[in-house]
Amino acid sequence: MGFIIASLFSLFSISLILTKLISLASLFIILLPCITAVHSLPPYTPPDIILLNCGESSLTTSPDGRNWVSDARSKFGASTSQNSSFAFKASRQDTSVTQVPYMTARIFLSKFTYSFPVSLGSKFVRLYFYPVAYSNLDISKSFFSVEANDYTLLSNFSAFLTVSAMQPPAAAIVKEFVVTIQEKQMLNVTFNPSLKSFAFINGIEIISMPEGLYIHGNDSPLVNVGIDYPFYLDNKTALETVYRLNVGGRDIDSSGDTGMYRKWVQDSNYIFGAAFGVTSISKVKINYTKITPAWVAPELVYSTMRSMGSQRKVNIKYNLTWIFPVDTGFNYLVRLHFCETRLEVTGALQLVFSIFINNQTAVAQADVIYWSGGRGVPVYKDHVIWIPAAGPGKQDLWLALHPSDEFELADATLNGLEIFKLNKSKGSLAGPNSEPILVQTPPVRQPKLLERTKSKHPHPNSTTNLTSPDEGEMILIYDYLINGTLGEHLHETNNDPLPWKKRLHICIGAARGLHYLHSEFTHTIIHRDVKTTNILLDENWIAKVSDFGLSKAAFKQEVSTTIVKGTWGYLDPEYARYQILTEKSDVYSFGVVLFEVLCALKPLDRNLVEEHMNLAIWAEKCIQNGNIYQIIDPYLKGKIAPRCFKKFVEIAFSCVHSKGIERPNMRDVMEELEFALKLQDDAEAENMGISPDGEIVHPYVSFFPAQCVDIADGPQLDSTSSTDSDTSSSTTGVFGSRIG
């Protein structure tokens, strides 16, 4: 009996234990989603979050799940006039914009102020604009200013023009600013229409940020690129976000940020040239620190990167480069995010690279592991760069990374990038309105452009012909060119050197092809990538201009402003600086081709000393010093008639003039090259039979720029030689007077 009781007691105890275990397991299962949810919370919770849906009459929810309050009879509206603003619905909804906050707007016919009671510290101020028709108002005529406390955020601003100029194209825009609220201050945002105009706003977002996120005060001086003294960024400075990139990764929407609803976009639209490098994403855990807390940037930013790749010999010959159009006359804060996550990088002094901002050294030796302390540890570096006022429109801010060849790995990396405009001394962040890109034409290879730019007749110096097998359909037919590219014959050692006259014929053919593009279509076609590797040679050595992937139509009475594309070394510096594209950009590139043909040197060679890296600059200096003959292809020495040589150098020199308006057009270039060929033929006819072996040896020639270069169309050259005392007389054209 006692045994039975003991057994029952044991069974009861086991049952009780199992019940408790099941209860604990059930509790764990119940708590698991809560634990996961807590772990997935963003690292920062803003004390101030204000979302104002302007023109809306009720509470609304945006696609990211956030609630936007109405500004109708809102506590934030401080304007006293009842008739100073009106609410309207947008006339249409573009597929790229969301219902909230873009489909309603508040229209202001006079000055209007929103007042937001917020805590002390720095705030994101985001203004949402969707420039479409509201009621019977012409949105293209909306110009206004926006102020936030003592700062002018926008002046005579046109959302319509701004959106029209955006690349890639967009229907709406968010202007993001950083404003610091001082003690006993409210945040007042004032809209003030320009004369006989109106202002509008679709949404206003106010978000707090952690102390010291961007503004560190006078205790943390910043590197002032190109200037000997540091830059101090204090809380009296307002910022405008210009670019925020997830380098090497995908777009990150506002819900993927660290609690401040910032948007990060991929960097591929801003990479210069064809050197894209390689991208990678790592599963290495990101270990944030006190110096780089978790709210600085999302893990996705530090987990992805763009690098140059593993080809050491290739990497040391080029830069990984991005370009960013910015307003001139402002300082810019450039924040670079780094995190080394690759297994092959194990310690400091293994991978070192240089950082250049606007062609100035920002960091001579960047070592991410040395900065951060280890793999998977993020770090950021801030720099300030001054962009001086220079001409109308925007100017490109360049960021370039170049690997050091002195360490184990020759590579350079970047994970993220933020660029902010800093206010001027009077508190203004306002820049001029962008010039709209009225015609956003596709490359030449696409049907619409081909149909709109039909040629009057086909041309033998183009690799393509147009045909229309079906109605409304255009096809490019490419010729097969058996002799390869001009570049191969100039730089490949397994090819015999091209004779001088053959080089002249090739240059004439290429010039004829470019002239055809510039003048024989309904609208001018700008090639945008003229270089020796895009000049192909058929079985008869006739030159064909090829590769129209970057080409663009230039329509009359329209200024074409565009993101700079082309090949470094051939790129027109005026186009690179001001983003204004004309056919004279092709002329500059062709001038580089002419020097390349003459010297058999590459347009950009980083293996040479700095003053010789850029062929066009080096050749110009040689011309100015009177020693251009010293850098020509050794194979050509003694083979070029002096007058032909003078004419050829004169043509190339005129093509690479720093000002596009001073360069000749391609018709002039073509005709002058034909004249240079005639000079060579005449000299050979005169000297026939002088040399026993039939080879004519011509004397050296030295050139100097003419003393008087105040010519309407460009510079002249004067020349002297040991046998040719005849010099060019003064003319009023691009080129010197013809001899013969």
Q: What is the CATH number of domain 237-436?
A: 2.60.120
Res 465: pLDDT: 45
| Numbered ranges of CATH 1.10.510.10 in the chain | 447-686
Res 391: pLDDT: 66
Residue type, 726: D
Res 73: pLDDT: 77
Closest C-alpha to 498, from 635, 677, 629: 635
Catalytic residues: 529
Q: Tell me the β-bridge partners of 385.
A: 332
| Numbered ranges of CATH 2.60.120.430 in the chain | 43-209
Q: Which CATH superfamily is domain 447-686 in?
A: Transferase(Phosphotransferase) domain 1 (1.10.510.10)
pLDDT along the chain (740 residues), means of 10: 44 43 38 35 92 95 95 73 80 95 96 95 98 93 96 96 84 97 94 96 98 89 91 94 98 96 95 84 94 97 96 89 93 98 95 94 96 97 92 85 95 98 90 56 34 41 42 45 84 83 94 86 79 87 76 52 72 79 92 96 85 90 89 92 94 93 94 94 74 52 42 38 37 41
Res 433: pLDDT: 77
- Region class of 376: left (phi > 0), else alpha (psi between -120 and 50), else beta: left
Res 701: pLDDT: 53
Report DSSP letters for 222-266, one per residue: BEETTSSS-B---TT--EEEEEEEETTS--B-GGGSSSS---BEE
> Is residue 716 within 8 Å of 650, Cβ to Cβ?
yes
Res 736: pLDDT: 46
Report DSSP letters for 330-379, one per residue: EEEEEEEEE----TT--STTSB-EEEEETTEEEEEEE-HHHHHSSTT--E
Res 425: pLDDT: 82
Q: Return d(Cα 729, Cα 155) in angstroms, integer.
A: 53
Q: Return d(Cα 115, Cα 133) in angstroms, integer.
A: 27
Res 719: pLDDT: 42
Q: Report domain 43-209's class.
A: mainly beta
Closest C-alpha to 723, from 648, 627, 641: 641
Using CA atoms of 205, 207, 213, 216 in order, give the dihedral in degrees to the nearest 10. 90
